[in-house]
Amino acid sequence: MRCTPRVPHDLTYNPRVLKLADRASLLGFSDIVRIRNRVLDLRAQGRKVLQLEGGEPFMPTADVVKDAMRDALAANQTRYAPSSGIPQLLEALRAKLAAKNHIELATGDLIVTSGGAHGLFCAFQASVDPGDEVMFFSPYWTPIRDQVRFAGGVAVRVPWDDVRGRDDIRDVLESHRTDRLRVIYVNSPANPTGDLLTRTQLESIAAFAKAHDLTVIADEAYEDLVYDGEHVSMASLPGMFERTLTVFTFSKSFSMTGWRIGYVAAPPLFMEFLRKLVLNSVNGVSTPTQFAALAAVTDDPHAFDGLREEYRRRRDLLVGGFRNAGFDCLTPPGAFYTFPDVRACLGNDSWRAMETLLERTSIASVPGVVFGPEGEGHLRMSFSTSMEVLEEAVDALRAL
């Protein structure tokens, strides 16, 4: 596609008066965009790239979901829906949360959002005041820092290394707490490390939150991608629903990244403002998309079991490839990322390590430092791709 050159214009306004809002500086574009552009440049040059830098499921959206969208369109389900979600979907989500996540709530405690990222944005806006501290584990999913900052919050990072392998982690959390702490964000299974908090660890976080009257934002995007252990919803623990905003997405479990639909479960204290945020930001999610999501959540509850084993095979192949090539690589119990320590093989600078690996092996990855300072010296790579690509990557690592 040809781009029309931009025509320069003389300024007709006073730049000291007409200006961009100050809060614009609080948001940034993900560094992952830089990597994506680098990969596109290489491919445009005819270079082969083994793309492990991504973050979406390897399988297509299920036919039952696509058929439901077609049926909704054919039935003219194309008008405004209630901004909180169509009643059929809200009821299906309520039943799913009760049966699977052991969270008992009413449909009035649910709202449909335009994906998990939108749900998180609304959750931070509803719970964080300027100057409030927000605690989260690091390395972390990159937009979280900006979302905290845009809400006026101050990030408090707790290294995953400090809690991994420990049962009672409350003393670690206490060591990072000040009187300004108001919110703790919990992502389990976690992006980018694949860490999974155990029930005992979550109980420690719950006790910590109740002792200091904290709000919890639970990001459960990868709830179905658990290979070792169990996924436990924070809001299912005693006394936690009343202080927890739980954010879910259809993207990872149902391979619906491009559909942009998720949902938030929250107590009445937060729900009224969440409704206002959704109404004033997107005015509700696309009506036919909600009918597609309804088909996804009411389909065979065991449909993901076989896919989970496919992910496990891919994980074990890639982790084994890194270890055989001399890298220190933990086996992630959840999500679909590996996060190898590359310092011994590729140096301490993860941006330089990413470039070196790309040049020598054609493997595209994400520098660990973009996920916070605790990620430096690591690279994130997804095993959510074809076995053929992973086998080729393992062969390239062997020859590194």
The distance in angstroms from the start CA to the end CA of the chain is: 38
- What pLDDT shows up at residue 110? 98
Judgement on whether residues 151 and 230 belong to the same structural domain of the protein: yes
Tell me the mean pLDDT per 10 residues along the chain, length 400: 59 78 87 84 92 94 98 98 97 98 98 98 98 98 96 98 97 98 98 98 98 98 98 98 98 97 98 98 97 97 91 98 98 98 98 96 97 98 98 96
Q: What angle do CA 182, 178, 266 make, to 5 degrees?
A: 15
Last-in-domain residue among 297, 327, 347: 297
- What pLDDT shows up at residue 387? 98
Domain-embedded: residue 265: yes
Judgement on whether residues 124 and 104 belong to the same structural domain of the protein: yes
Domain-embedded: residue 8: no
8 Å CB contact between 22 and 150: no
CATH of the domain at 204: 3.40.640.10
Judgement on whether residues 242 and 171 belong to the same structural domain of the protein: yes
The parent domain of residue 252 ranges over: 63-297
Judgement on whether residues 289 and 331 belong to the same structural domain of the protein: no
Judgement on whether residues 110 and 38 belong to the same structural domain of the protein: no
Instruction: Quote the CA–CA distance of 65 and 10 in Å, as a whole number.
Output: 51
> Omega before 189 cis (within 30°)?
yes
Judgement on whether residues 52 and 103 belong to the same structural domain of the protein: no
Domain-embedded: residue 354: yes
Last-in-domain residue among 262, 297, 332: 297
- What pLDDT shows up at residue 12? 75
Judgement on whether residues 211 and 84 belong to the same structural domain of the protein: yes
Tell which residue, 162, 173, 232, has the closest CA to residue 197: 232
Judgement on whether residues 182 and 313 belong to the same structural domain of the protein: no
Judgement on whether residues 192 and 246 belong to the same structural domain of the protein: yes
Exposure letters 74-94 (e unless 16+ CB within 10 A, then b): eeebeeebebbbbeebbebbb
Which amino acid, residue 182?
R
Domain-embedded: residue 67: yes
CATH of the domain at 374: 3.90.1150.10
Count of the separate structural domains present in the chain: 2
- The single-letter DSSP state of residue 255 is T
Residue 69 has a CB neighbour count (10 Å cut-off) of 20
Exposure letters 117-147 (e unless 16+ CB within 10 A, then b): bbbbbbbbbbbbeeebbbbbbbbbbbebbbb
- What pLDDT shows up at residue 1? 46
Domain-embedded: residue 311: yes
CA distances (Å), origin 350, targets 43, 148, 195, 353, 369: 22, 25, 20, 5, 6
Domain-embedded: residue 14: no
Judgement on whether residues 173 and 312 belong to the same structural domain of the protein: no
Instruction: Quote the CA–CA distance of 369 and 237 in Å, as a whole number.
Output: 33
Instruction: Quote the CA–CA distance of 77 and 239 in Å, as a whole number.
Output: 39
Last-in-domain residue among 231, 266, 297: 297
Domain-embedded: residue 16: no
User: What angle separates helix 143-150 from helix 116-127, to the nearest 10 degrees?
Assistant: 30
Rounded to 10 degrees, what is the CA torsion of 98, 63, 120, 21? -160
Tokens of 183: 């919110």
Sequence-separated contacts (24+) of 325-328 with Cβ below 8 Å: 325/397, 325/398, 325/400, 327/397
Domain-embedded: residue 359: yes
Judgement on whether residues 172 and 269 belong to the same structural domain of the protein: yes
- What pLDDT shows up at residue 315? 98
Give the predicted TM-score (pTM) of the model: 0.95
Instruction: Quote the CA–CA distance of 217 and 235 in Å, as a whole number.
Output: 10
Judgement on whether residues 223 and 265 belong to the same structural domain of the protein: yes
- What pLDDT shows up at residue 33? 78
